[in-house]
Structure 1
């Protein structure tokens, strides 16, 4: 959530935010909520501080969401009890019709935020409070900091709502629809097959406006890639890593000629500087190259191609066990459970085709590396009722832990992609990831029809008596490509983007469960 607020629990009279703002209680500050509510507020602020420092484990992110729910329920209950105890007392307090009394527990709407702010400002009955809460002045400072949290949430909500509306208004109609025009899909598929037969690069690579605005610096989303690789048998591993690190520095992609420890980029903090690529170690592979924050600009795609070429020239390869992870900015998801639900229901509706597109086209036997490090996400058919219901783990196909924290740094990680050192494949995987996030916010997702979970197409062919190696035609071909065509129409508007995804579809195969 933005910069966040900090509370010094040892010196409550001064609370400083990450942005350097000092919070002090006004001289006429009123008392804070009752002690039980105060305890919840304290816990909320501590968790917020951990999240802003990227130190909150998933269970504490979930607890933050539960506290929001608890605060809403507790404040509503306290109002009803106070009115019964003293009907002469008047409070400007959320009513049963307030958004806070509804089924959603997200601080998403302006009305909900204002109602909760009023609850924080309520003057409670005078009574003794535990000594650990300090003096009334101390508690007032903490209440002021809590209100700043709500102010930040309100500002973030308004900014995100504006971005969502802008995205819907600026998204043009499809220039071509694979769903309605099957022949258009078939032409692109045949063109990819012809390139393959001629021994040419099958999946096109773009360097100018590659994403159609999805990854633009202005109006799009930042993204990042993690490229895992191994070293070819017979090549000295240590020397290869040294050579790769040196050439990355010499090419202006990294600042040093060394291999860093695991997740060192995350610890150092991300930047969009083009020379901030970082070579890291990983216990499962020889190395992992982590990009800075990227945008759809010619230099980004030139640097990606250079990085892949340097790794390959020095003996690097995308072995069967390597993965490719794509991080996508989700600053406009705004803790809105509906956005997360749309994203994950779209993923589940197209899970099988996504795992097909995730396969490294150069893998032996046309097999995906498996789901040990990218398990299919469980997604309830009715969606989520709260952010805390979302399963957000490092080992899942779509890891939304970084998105649940909200704010400008919110991001999701698409982990299902296989490792590849083909920049065209990586670019297409990036665009698929960007497209899914954008479609969820535009409320333009296609999750109709039966869910096609991992292995569905192979099972359908088995039940229909169609061999896995047989080339389909006619209605069988239309049926088996329908889910892919629906997905592409949801994600992309331009014909060139759909053709690029179709080329990757041509190069990959349906996977087993």
Structure 2
């Protein structure tokens, strides 16, 4: 059982206190000994434990068959240097199954592009059963559940050319990767291209973080400690992060640093809303956008806005791996054992590395980033291939 501490009490002690208070109110007994309500208290404790167990099992189910190869570039500096040079000119891989290392986490993407006949793109994708309308629709159109949309976007649309391809909720399935590949092929065939205006946003479910304050703290440490590396990886196929990032994907480092220091109470979903509203500063133009979480009309997702636009499936997949990898590592890595289970030594090592991250522009930061957030060498090489093609901002 994963006990989350709330101040000085765990939630199970709180459940007992709640039950005790209910008994006192029901029978008008001032400060009655806790033993007088054993049946109700035990029931409250058991109910809370059952809910905790179900919630934890659901979170663990997001991971599936997770592989940890125990490979660390930090132990193989020469190997890293050779790979960094070699991968500059090697085509990026594209996984058509198990791209996210067994994770069942949900995600979504937004692919901005310029030029191209938007209605022709929409029409062909509609005929293929991928999008909901055979034409470009208005910005933030409600669409059809399970279908993509091609929307107008003022930053990239001119007349009936340019737009934004917005996915439904996706998972790591062969169908997802086939759709992304087909969408990119169709868009490019009808003249779509990428320029400095285009972004490629990735939304990832916050479910692995839930109401666990240490997971949120590790997430903020990840952004605080490696934002410069994320910016470098975000260059995609363009060689460098787009010039407009200082407005559309502003640095989140200072907000993340505040998040690692802020006192946090995590009793309910409303506490999560208060946390992200405070840390996110109600501004959706940071590289990390948290504003969707506390809005009832939006899904509970963390949006990574850093990435340049791309119509290259392998680059898009690398972006998704980075975003999902950071979220999943924020759940898994830790420097100490859990109360109910030991933490693998590889995860402890990653946790200690995260605790000492410095957000520097050097190869040491690149190695640490890959070692913390990816436990399979093939994923490290995929992301390293993107890093190798790009320079620091």
Give the Cα separation in 1 of the matches to 2:300 and 2:387.
30
Aligned equivalent of 1:112, options 7, 14, 23:
14
Give ranges in structure 2 of 5+ residues lacking alignment: 29-45, 158-162, 265-271, 335-350
TM-score, normalising length from structure 1? 0.59
Q: Alpha carbons of 1:491 and 1:178: their partners in 2 closer, same or farther (altered >3 Å)?
A: same
What secondary structure does 1:294 align onto? coil
1:305 aligned to 2:212? no
Give the paired residue count. 335
Give the Cα separation in 2 of the matches to 1:347 and 1:437.
10
Are the counterparts in 2 of residues 221 and 295 from structure 1 also a CA contact under 8 Å? yes
Give, in angstroms, the shift of residue 320 of structure 1: 0.5
Give the Cα separation in 1 of the matches to 2:132 and 2:207.
28
Are the counterparts in 2 of residues 222 and 293 from structure 1 also a CA contact under 8 Å? yes
Q: Alpha carbons of 1:121 and 1:297: their partners in 2 closer, same or farther (altered >3 Å)?
A: same
What's the counterpart of residue 153 of structure 2? 282
What's the counterpart of residue 160 of structure 2? none
Give, in angstroms, the shift of residue 212 of structure 1: 1.7
What's the counterpart of residue 183 of structure 1? 78
1:490 aligned to 2:378? no
Give, in angstroms, the shift of residue 228 of structure 1: 1.0
Q: Alpha carbons of 1:118 and 1:284: their partners in 2 closer, same or farther (altered >3 Å)?
A: farther
Give the Cα separation in 2 of the matches to 1:103 and 1:397.
34
Alignment deviations for residues 60-88 of structure 1 (CA, whole Å, 9 cap, x no partner): xxxxxxxxxxxxxxxxxxxxxxxxxxxxx
Are the counterparts in 2 of residues 167 and 442 from structure 1 also a CA contact under 8 Å? no
Give the Cα separation in 1 of the matches to 2:80 and 2:92.
15
TM-score, normalising length from structure 2? 0.75
What secondary structure does 1:421 align onto? coil
What's the counterpart of residue 62 of structure 1? none
CA RMSD of aligned residues (A): 3.3
Give, in angstroms, the shift of residue 404 of structure 1: 5.6
What secondary structure does 2:302 align onto? strand
What's the counterpart of residue 226 of structure 2? 350
Give, in angstroms, the shift of residue 208 of structure 1: 2.5
Alignment deviations for residues 282-330 of structure 1 (CA, whole Å, 9 cap, x no partner): 2212211111111112221111011112111212112211111111122
Give the Cα separation in 2 of the matches to 1:180 and 1:416.
29
Give the Cα separation in 2 of the matches to 1:355 and 1:189.
17
Written as runs of structure 1 = structure 2, the 5 A alignment for 1:1-400 is 102=7, 109-113=11-15, 115-116=17-18, 119=21, 123=25, 157-163=52-58, 171-195=66-90, 202-214=91-103, 220-231=104-115, 240-265=117-142, 271=145, 273=146, 276-286=147-157, 287-362=163-238, 367-377=242-252, 378-380=255-257, 382-386=260-264, 387=272, 388-390=274-276, 391-392=279-280, 393-400=283-290
Q: Alpha carbons of 1:437 and 1:321: their partners in 2 closer, same or farther (altered >3 Å)?
A: same
Are the counterparts in 2 of residues 330 and 410 from structure 1 also a CA contact under 8 Å? yes
Whichever of the two has the greater Rg, that structure is 1
Give, in angstroms, the shift of residue 278 of structure 1: 0.9
Are the counterparts in 1 of residues 226 and 365 from structure 2 also a CA contact under 8 Å? yes
Give the Cα separation in 2 of the matches to 1:413 and 1:340.
15
Give the Cα separation in 1 of the matches to 2:275 and 2:156.
33
What's the counterpart of residue 438 of structure 1? 328
Q: Alpha carbons of 1:152 and 1:222: their partners in 2 closer, same or farther (altered >3 Å)?
A: farther
Are the counterparts in 2 of residues 223 and 328 from structure 1 also a CA contact under 8 Å? yes
Are the counterparts in 2 of residues 174 and 489 from structure 1 also a CA contact under 8 Å? no
Q: Alpha carbons of 1:436 and 1:124: their partners in 2 closer, same or farther (altered >3 Å)?
A: same
